């Protein structure tokens, strides 16, 4: 039986294993770490590019636009293709694109080549996320929120470490040092061969085995599904606009309001990022146990009291409120992605591509918007405004239940 025929059997039941395959989930997480680490170094090298080539801020903005277009907007299309035509080794192929893009960027001597390089790196990422999310659900053994959280925390870690490594390796040694990160891309491509081999085996497993269907409520009308997807998009907007404000401007807020040093402000930002990583895993575990709708509802709305109080607190309580808001709001994304794929279980790649694309795109827009607003008003003002975004979490109460409830007789 060919891959396309196997894919048709897989639709609607992406959990085709007898138990959770933690070894594959760890590989997915490590791959996500390496992928997002590489992605995050591109904004970190802008100062080098600007100084070396005397680029304007507008030219830097176009580099960001091209990178975001290929890494975010293409994801739904690569996800749609992954649903229709699964390619077990697409993950390694995608990382090879990233490797080529990094080498181009390391030795680029004109603006066109730089744009080409970041677009190739972005295209590699657009292949990675939808397919890796599909494999993650395949390895979940029914614990889909936990599996997605394990996968997601790898990406969070990579995004946090990337700029640090760029500061240590690239900033002191210049543009050519970008080529050292090609080794990380090569390592990821090799790791993903193992992942692709397992993925191919599990696709073949569908032919000879009939696994129990996951406990998904299929009695939801198409209109209700699309309404639920719209609500999820609004929740993604509130979550990533708020977190973009924190990650981009929290250090400036602390320096401006409390007069702390740059090193202290960076340490405080690390506290938020640590809380974010812990909340990502915890949210997945709670989503499988208590229901994804309720975790989504709590994780966004529950962060609101701490977000609203934070701009008016003293330094100690500012750090505590930031930690708690990050811990709570981070638990949402894995449950949102899995909830959306439960609505449309035959389009896991497409849905994952849409929501990962939204995550990157809205995060970039949020950072730009709050930067513009800070220039017009003040750093403290943008934190007072952004604090109300988690209140949008109240609309999660309108989501239908996608998980069936086991009732013992």
Total-model pTM: 0.72
pLDDT digits (tens, 9 = 90+) for 172-209: 888 888 899 989 999 999 999 988 888 888 777 655 55
Helix, strand or coil for residue 216? strand
* The two structure tokens encoding residue 9: 């059997």
How far is residue 234's CA from residue 31's CA, in Å, rounded to a whole number?
A: 29
DSSP sequence for 294-309: HHHHHHHHTTHHHHHH
Averaged confidence pLDDT in the chain: 82
Which tens digit of pLDDT belongs to each residue from 277-322?
A: 788 878 777 777 777 888 888 888 899 999 999 999 999 999 999 9
Q: What is the pLDDT of residues 310-368, one digit of tens each?
A: 999 999 999 999 999 988 998 777 788 888 888 887 788 788 788 877 877 787 788 77
125 by DSSP, 3-state: which? helix
Equal fold, 3-208 vs 222-398: yes
Residues 6 or more apart whose Cβ sits within 8 Å of residue 399:
228, 231, 232, 293, 296, 297, 339
CATH 3.30.750.80 fits 222-398, yes or no: no
Kindly indicate whether the domain formed by 3-208 is annotated with CATH number 1.20.1250.20.
yes
Q: Is 57 exposed, middle or buried (0-12, 13-18, 19+ CB in 10 A)?
A: exposed
For residue 383, what pLDDT is reported? 94
- Domain residue spans of the chain: 3-208, 222-398
pLDDT at residue 312, rounded to an integer: 94
């Amino acid at each position: 039986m060919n891959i396309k025929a196997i894919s048709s059997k897989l639709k609607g039941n992406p959990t085709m294993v007898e138990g959770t395959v933690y070894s594959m989930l760890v590989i997915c997480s490590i791959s996500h770490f390496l992928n997002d680490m590489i992605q995050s170094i591109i904004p970190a090298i802008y100062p080098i590019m600007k100084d070396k080539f005397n680029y304007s801020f507008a030219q830097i903005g176009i580099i960001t636009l091209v990178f975001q277009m290929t890494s975010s907007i293409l994801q739904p299309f690569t996800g749609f293709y992954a649903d229709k035509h699964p390619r077990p080794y697409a993950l390694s192929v995608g990382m090879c694109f990233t490797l080529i893009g990094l080498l181009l960027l390391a030795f680029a001597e004109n603006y066109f080549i730089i744009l080409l390089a970041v677009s190739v790196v972005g295209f590699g990422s657009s292949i990675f996320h939808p397919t890796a999310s599909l494999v993650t659900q395949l390895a979940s053994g029914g614990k889909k929120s936990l599996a997605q959280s394990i996968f997601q925390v790898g990406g969070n870690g990579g995004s946090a470490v990337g700029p640090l490594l760029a500061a240590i390796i690239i900033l002191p040694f210049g543009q050519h040092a970008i080529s050292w990160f090609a080794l990380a891309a090569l390592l990821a491509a090799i790791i993903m061969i193992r992942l692709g081999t397992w993925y191919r085996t599990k696709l073949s497993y569908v032919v000879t085995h009939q696994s129990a269907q996951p406990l998904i409520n299929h009695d939801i009308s198409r209109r209700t599904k699309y309404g639920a997807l719209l609500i999820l998009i609004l929740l993604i907007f509130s979550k990533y606009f708020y977190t973009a404000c924190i990650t981009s401007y929290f250090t400036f807020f602390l320096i401006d309001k409390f007069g702390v040093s740059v090193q202290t402000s960076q340490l405080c930002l690390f506290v938020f990022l640590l809380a974010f990583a812990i909340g990502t895993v915890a949210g997945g575990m709670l989503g499988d146990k208590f229901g994804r709708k309720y975790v989504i509802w709590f994780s966004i709305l529950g962060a609101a009291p701490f977000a609203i109080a934070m701009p008016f607190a003293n330094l100690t309580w500012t750090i505590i409120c930031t930690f708690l808001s990050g811990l709570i709001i981070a638990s949402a994304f894995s449950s949102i992605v899995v909830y959306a794929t439960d609505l449309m279980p035959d389009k896991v790649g497409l849905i994952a591509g849409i929501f990962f694309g939204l995550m990157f795109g809205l995060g970039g827009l949020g950072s730009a918007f709050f930067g513009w607003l800070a220039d017009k008003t003040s750093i403290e003002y943008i934190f007072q405004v952004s604090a109300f975004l988690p209140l949008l979490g109240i609309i999660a109460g309108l989501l239908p239940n996608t998980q069936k409830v086991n009732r013992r007789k």
